[in-house]
């Protein structure tokens, strides 16, 4: 597949057929993804391929514990767990999560409720000993360390696309890390960065909706002139 097409058509896939993914295919995906850019070539990522049903259910349960809180905050007009959220408003919103969970339990459920049934579940981990978190001492939430881990996740999705698969990276289960550390046998210096779900897609979006370049790119300053190259895009 031509790279430009892959970049424009590799969207999040959360609906999969029951067709299994061969280990040889998964091996090729991870083999390609390992060439992702990362700080100092320290390759701080680790991956756990989750197969045992009880571990899969633990991931699902950790996901669901945060999922309904996520929905409740979104319904209240908040960015879920946003760094600048009003904490009182966030708490009020989260208090409605049990009602959303009850509603979901009465239906067939979707991706979150059936996470344990996804053909391939990969737990993406980060080794803190290998991450250069250059924003560690700033008076804000650290962010930069992820730059040495999440490109690897994106490379997994691109490599999966090339194999005819689809997938998504989700961070929801990370909220359950304290419990999952024991389930996954994580040492103290290793943390969860997310879960990657892969499989054969039921359908694939070919036209992704994104803001135009000028909506998020400015010249010289945050409030500078929108970047508008000649001829588009």
Rounded to an integer, the average pLDDT of 156-181 is: 96
Q: Where are the domains of the chain?
A: 3-52+111-204
Q: In what order do the strands lie in the sheet with 45-50?
A: 45-50, 120-127, 190-199, 166-170
CB 177, CB 47: distance < 8 Å: no
pLDDT value, residue 203: 86
Rounded to an integer, the average pLDDT of 200-204 is: 89
Please report which confidence band the pLDDT of residue 8 belongs to, taking 50, 70 and 90 as the band edges: confident
pTM: 0.92
| pLDDT tens string 103-156 | 998 999 999 999 999 999 999 999 999 999 999 999 999 999 999 999 999 999
pLDDT value, residue 233: 63
Q: Could you tell me which CATH class the domain 3-52+111-204 is placed in?
A: alpha beta
**How far, in Å, CA of 146 to CA of 103, rounded?**
35
226 forms beta bridges with: 218
| pLDDT tens string 81-102 | 999 999 999 999 999 999 999 9
């Amino acid at each position: 597949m031509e790279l430009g097409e892959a970049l424009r058509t590799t969207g999040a896939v959360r609906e999969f057929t029951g067709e299994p993914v061969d280990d040889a295919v998964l091996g090729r995906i991870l083999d390609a993804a390992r060439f992702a850019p990362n700080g100092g070539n320290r390759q701080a990522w680790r991956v756990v391929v989750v197969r045992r049903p009880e571990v899969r259910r633990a991931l699902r349960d950790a996901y669901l514990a945060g999922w309904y809180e996520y929905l409740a905050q979104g319904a209240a007009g908040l960015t879920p767990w946003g760094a600048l959220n009003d904490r009182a408003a966030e708490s009020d919103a989260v208090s409605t999560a049990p009602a959303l969970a009850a509603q979901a339990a009465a239906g067939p459920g979707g991706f979150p409720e059936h996470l344990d049934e996804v053909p391939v579940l990969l737990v993406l981990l980060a080794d803190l000993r290998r991450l250069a978190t250059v924003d560690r001492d700033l008076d804000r939430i650290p962010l930069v360390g992820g730059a040495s881990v999440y490109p690897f996740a994106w490379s997994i999705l691109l490599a999966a696309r090339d194999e005819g698969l689809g997938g998504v990276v989700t961070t929801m289960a990370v909220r359950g890390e304290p419990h999952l550390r024991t389930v996954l046998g994580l040492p103290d210096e290793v943390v969860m960065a997310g879960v990657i779900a892969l499989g054969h897609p039921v359908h694939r979006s070919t036209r992704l909706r994104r803001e135009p370049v000028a909506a998020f790119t400015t010249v010289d300053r945050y409030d500078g002139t929108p970047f508008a190259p000649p001829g588009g895009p």
